[in-house]
Structure 1
C-alpha cells in the first residue's frame, strides 16, 4: 500500500499466497491521505477503531496508536504487518472491543464497521474519553456509510458531516461537543432476549448478545433449523461450537448432555463474550471453555469428538468460502477417528462438495427450502 509516508507491505491473516484480496482498501488510503494533506496533529493518544487488517496503525506506527478491534484475525494481521514493516509490536497498543478504552482520546479514527450496533457500542464506550479538542475522522466505502451512520456520530459525539467520495470511499468528520446537553441514553448492549419453543433443550432459555454479533435481537432461521436437528450427544466427551456466535448451539448441547465438555470458539471477541454470558445466564451444569482464535488452530489433533458449525460466507463486504474451508480443515485435524463434523448452510453454497474432498464422505441429515444440515465423519 502506498501511503504519504512510504510503501507498506501488508497481508491478511492467515496469510495465503493464493489470496487475491488486499489487506487494505480505498477508504484506508483516503483517510491517510487526508491526515497528511491537512497536517492533522497526531499527538496525544491516537485511537484507531475497526482497523481491519492493521493497515492504519502500521502506517501511523510512529505516533504509537491504540488499536481497538473485535477481530482476532485483525489483531494477528496487525502483529504480522508491523513485523513485516520493521515495527516493534509494542509500538502499537492492541486492545479488543471488550477491553476498557483509554481514559483520554485526542485523535479518534474510525473504520466504519459493517455492524451499526458495534459502531454504536464503541462510540458510547469512547465518548467519555473524547474532549472538545479531539480530532474525529471516520472512513469507509460509500456503500458502508449511511444516514444512520452519520446520525450515530451526531447523537453520541457531536455535529457530523461527510466528504466528497473518492474511489468509492468517503470520510466522516465529527466535531465533539462533550458539554452539549443530550437526552439521557441507556447503553443498549449487551442485549438479552428469550428463545422461542420447539427448538430442543434451549427452548425458552435466555440469550445474551453483545453488539455486533449476528442476529442480536432474535434467533435466526438457520440456527433455529440447526437446533431442531442436532445429533444426540449422549456419551460424547468433547464438543466444539465452532464459530459460536452467541453460543446458543453449544449451550443446547451442554443442557442436553451435562457430561460433555463444550468448547466455544470464535474469532470475534464480542461473540465469545456473548457465548460465555449466554452459557452462564442459563446456569448450565458441566464444563465449558471459551476461546477467541482462528477456528480450531491450537486445539490438539484428535481431541474432539463432535464439531458443530454454521460457517460465515462473507469477509466484511466480500463473499468468500475461504473461512468455511479453513474451519472444515481445522475440524478434520482436531477430530479423532469416528469424530463427526455437522454443518448447516444455505443450499446454494455446496458445502457437501468441500466435505467430500476433505473427509471422503458427506451425508445429508436434514433440509428445507433454504438450508441443509450435513454430516461428515473422520474415518
Structure 2
C-alpha cells in the first residue's frame, strides 16, 4: 500500500476519483475529489469554520489560497470576487489537477492553480485565506507561512484556520513574534475547537 500524505508531491495510490456535493459561496456544486488528497469526502471542519467566519475577500487585485487542495477556498474567493485574480497553491500534483478541474466546473475563470514556484515572484496579495497544512511539521509550516505572509499588501489581511489541539495558540504567538511590527496578529474567532487567526499588514 502506498504511504501517501495529502502533502506528498506525487501520490502513488490510485486516484479513485469521486463526485461530491458541496455548497460554496451560496452555490450548490458537484465537484471532484480523489484518494491521496486532503478531505476527499467533502469540506473538512476547519475549512468550513474559515469560510463561515471570515469577511469577503478584497473585490479586486490578487488573492491567495495557501494549500488549496481540491479547491474549495480558492473557488469561494473567486465567486465572491469575480474581478480579482485568485491564486491557489499546493505541492500535490493530484490536487492541482483536481482544483483546476473544479474551478472550471464552478465557472471560476479567474482562478490560477499553481505550484508555489510558478507564482510570479513580485506578486503581492490583498487577501490570503488558508487552512494551512499543519501536519507537515512545525518547521515546514513556518517556512510556508513566511513565504507567503510577507507578500501581503499594506492594509491586506490573511485569515488562517488552525485547530486549537494542533497548536493554534502557539502559532498565533509565533506569528506575532516573527512577523514583527509591520503586522498585527489577532485571534478573530474560536469555533468547534478551531482558531481563526487574522494577520493584518499595517506597513512595509
TM-score for the superposition, normalised by structure 1: 0.47
- 1:345 pairs, out of 140, 144, 162, with 162
Where does residue 281 of structure 1 map in the other structure? 105
What secondary structure is seen at the aligned counterpart in 2 of 1:305? strand
Larger Rg: 1
Bigger shift: residues 232-241 or 269-278: 232-241
What secondary structure is seen at the aligned counterpart in 2 of 1:241? strand
**CA separation of 1:299/1:231 partners in 2, compared to 1, >3 Å: closer, same or farther?**
farther
Within a 5 Å distance, the mapping from 1:58-69 to structure 2 comes to none
Native 8 Å contact 1:193 1:217 kept in 2: yes
Unaligned residue ranges in structure 1 (runs of 5+):
1-48, 53-68, 72-95, 98-117, 122-188
Where does residue 321 of structure 1 map in the other structure? 138
- Structure 1 runs, 4 residues or longer, greater than 6 Å off: 49-52
What secondary structure is seen at the aligned counterpart in 1 of 2:75? helix
Native 8 Å contact 2:58 2:126 kept in 1: no
What secondary structure is seen at the aligned counterpart in 2 of 1:372? strand
Native 8 Å contact 1:193 1:206 kept in 2: yes
Where does residue 130 of structure 1 map in the other structure? none
Where does residue 377 of structure 1 map in the other structure? 200
Root mean square deviation of aligned Cα: 2.6
Native 8 Å contact 1:266 1:291 kept in 2: yes
TM-score for the superposition, normalised by structure 2: 0.83
**CA separation of 1:235/1:204 partners in 2, compared to 1, >3 Å: closer, same or farther?**
closer
Native 8 Å contact 2:64 2:128 kept in 1: yes
How many residues in Structure 1 have an aligned counterpart in Structure 2? 194
Q: Does 1:290 align with 2:113?
A: yes
- 1:236 pairs, out of 29, 40, 60, with 60
CA distance in 1, matches of 2:189, 2:110: 29
Structure of greater relative contact order (alpha carbons < 8 Å, 6+ residues apart): 2
